[in-house]
């Protein structure tokens, strides 16, 4: 019943560009302390990200840099169970550690999306396991995309899952590694088709779309994603949860520099759809991290 809930916001599609961190400590199932701090990402702020969380370059002026904060955060999280809603927060710290030549955080990560999928299968569907959707279902009041508020909501969802399932925190760290169902791990992919991911993959339930120039064939990327549980679709729809963009395409701004899929995803995000946009290199780290 003791853990730390964590959430981050990023300045742009580069997952290492952390510009805010929220931490909430839970003891005996209750939040007992919290902290929130802005971070100078030493990088540019994408208008799309700013529209989501409201953090600008001006707001982080004078804030500490991630290279300075990582040792402090690492000491706070060491040997703790760290709750986060989706693999993105863990991946952001992984990328930040690589960027600043810092060792990976020595903690037990536990993704509440994976917990939620195993606790409440009835929520499966478009946005069903998003933080906002779960908070609405359970009557949790919070300010979305404020790192401290998101962290607190994630912790409360974790406690709700423990109560509803009867599975304690320690057992949950093991339960999320077990299959949801027994679908075989062999997948193939043909361009233009929608491919279901394996149901027992660590990222099962997500729907991936790719755009831009990738470092590998999109068919190869699709197989990697499907083996991790992602359904791979050819176009952005209301069911899409992640758009993977070629690294060089992610930093392009303006309508002339982004693909139709990219612009459609940004429009849907602005309308409230729970879609993430991620660079290819960050997504590959996410896949590697999820497999651990």
Q: Residues 208-221: pLDDT tens digits?
A: 999 988 887 788 88
Question: pLDDT class for 192, splitting at 50, 70, 90?
Answer: low
| Location of each CATH 3.30.420.10 domain in the chain | 3-175
| Location of each CATH 3.40.50.10190 domain in the chain | 207-290
Nearest to 18, CA basis, from 72, 61, 71, 55: 55
CA distance 287 to 292: 9
CATH topology for 207-290 is: Rossmann fold (3.40.50)
Cβ distance 22 to 4 under 8 Å?
A: no
180 vs 284, higher pLDDT: 284
Question: pLDDT class for 180, splitting at 50, 70, 90?
Answer: low
Q: What is the pLDDT of residue 177?
A: 76
- Both tokens of 169, joined, read 């925190």
Nearest to 223, CA basis, from 277, 184, 186, 278: 186
CA distance 88 to 9: 10
Q: Residues 21-80: pLDDT tens digits?
A: 999 999 999 999 999 999 999 999 999 999 999 999 999 999 999 999 999 999 999 999
Q: Residues 224-269: pLDDT tens digits?
A: 888 888 888 889 998 898 999 988 776 665 556 788 999 999 999 9
- Both tokens of 95, joined, read 């990328």
Q: Residues 81-132: pLDDT tens digits?
A: 999 998 899 999 999 999 999 998 999 999 999 899 889 988 887 568 899 9
- Both tokens of 91, joined, read 């991946």
Q: Residues 4-27: pLDDT tens digits?
A: 999 999 999 899 999 999 999 999
Q: Which residues, including other chains, have CB under 8 Å from residue 129's CB and lie 6 or more apart?
A: 113, 116, 117, 123, 205
CA distance 259 to 182: 37
Give the Å distances, CA to CA, from 49 to 32, 46, 60: 30, 5, 14
pTM attached to this predicted model? 0.72
Q: What is the pLDDT of residue 251?
A: 65
Q: Where are the beta strands (DSSP E) in 3-65?
A: 3-10, 18-27, 30-38
Q: What is the CATH number of domain 3-175?
A: 3.30.420.10
Cβ distance 279 to 247 under 8 Å?
A: yes
């Amino acid at each position: 019943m003791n853990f730390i809930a964590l959430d981050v916001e990023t300045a742009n599609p580069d997952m290492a560009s952390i510009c805010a961190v929220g931490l909430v400590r839970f003891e005996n199932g209750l939040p007992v302390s919290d902290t929130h701090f802005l971070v100078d990402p030493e990088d540019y702020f994408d208008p799309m990200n700013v529209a989501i969380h409201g953090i600008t370059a001006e707001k982080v002026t004078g804030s500490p840099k991630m290279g300075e904060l990582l040792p402090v955060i690492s000491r706070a999280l060491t040997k703790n169970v760290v709750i986060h809603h989706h693999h993105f927060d863990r991946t952001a710290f992984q990328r930040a550690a690589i960027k600043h030549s810092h060792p990976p955080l020595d903690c037990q990560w536990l993704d509440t999306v994976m917990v939620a999928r195993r606790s409440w299968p009835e929520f499966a569907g478009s946005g069903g396991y998003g933080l906002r959707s779960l908070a609405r279902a359970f009557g949790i009041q919070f300010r979305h995309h404020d790192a401290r508020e998101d962290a607190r909501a994630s912790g409360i969802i974790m406690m709700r899952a423990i109560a509803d399932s009867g599975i304690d925190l320690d057992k949950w760290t093991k339960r999320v590694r077990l299959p949801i169902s027994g679908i075989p791990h062999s997948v193939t992919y043909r361009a233009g088709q929608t491919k279901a991911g394996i149901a027992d993959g660590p990222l099962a339930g997500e729907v991936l779309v790719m755009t831009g120039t990738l470092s590998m064939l999109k068919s190869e990327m699709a197989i990697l994603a499907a083996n991790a549980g992602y359904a791979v679709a050819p176009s952005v729809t209301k069911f899409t949860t992640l758009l993977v963009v070629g690294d060089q395409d992610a930093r392009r701004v303006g309508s002339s520099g982004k693909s139709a899929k990219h612009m459609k995803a940004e429009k849907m995000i602005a309308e409230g759809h729970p879609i993430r946009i991620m660079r290819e290199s960050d997504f590959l780290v996410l896949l590697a991290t999820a497999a651990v």
